[in-house]
Amino acid sequence: MKLTIGIGLLLMTAAGWAQEPPKNTQAIIEVKYADVNRVTDLLKPIYGGNIKADSSLHVIGVSGPTDLVAAITAAIQKLDVPLSSEPDVELTVYLISGVAQGQGTDDVPQELASTVKQLHGLFAYKSYKLSDTLVLRGRSGRPYNGRDTETEGVLPGTTNLSYRLTYNSLEVSSGDPRTVHINALGFSLRGPTVTTTSKDNVTTDHTQTPARIFTDLDVREGQKTVVGKSSVNGAGDALILVIVPKIVE
* Domain extent listing, the chain: 22-79, 88-248
Q: Whole-angstrom Cα distance, residue 69 to residue 154?
A: 59
Q: Give me the residues of the chain with pLDDT under 70, please.
A: 1-22, 83-85, 142-148, 158-159, 193-208
**Backbone angles phi and psi of 163, in degrees to 5:** -130, 160
Q: How far is CA 10 from CA 15, 18, 103, in A?
A: 9, 12, 109
180 by DSSP, 3-state: which?
strand
Q: Whole-angstrom Cα distance, residue 58 to residue 62?
A: 14
Q: Whole-angstrom Cα distance, residue 224 to residue 218?
A: 11
Of 98, 93, 101, 92, nearest to 120 (Cα)? 98
pLDDT at position 129: 94
What is the domain class of 22-79 according to CATH?
Answer: alpha beta
pLDDT at position 213: 86
Q: Of all helices (H) and strands (E), which one includes residue 81?
A: none
pLDDT at position 195: 67
pLDDT at position 103: 81
What is the model's pTM? 0.61
pLDDT at position 240: 93
Q: Which amino acid, one-letter code, is at 184?
A: A
Virtual torsion, Cα 226, 232, 234, 236, nearest 10 deg: -10
In the chain the first and final C-alpha atoms are separated, in Å, by: 85
Q: Whole-angstrom Cα distance, residue 47 to residue 69?
A: 9
Asked if residue 215 lies in contact with residue 200, where contact means CB atoms within 8 angstroms, the answer is no
Helices 66-79 and 36-47, axial angle in degrees (round to 10): 140
pLDDT at position 230: 83
Q: Whole-angstrom Cα distance, residue 152 to residue 166?
A: 9
Q: Whole-angstrom Cα distance, residue 40 to residue 76?
A: 9
Of 208, 22, 240, 41, nearest to 131 (Cα)? 240
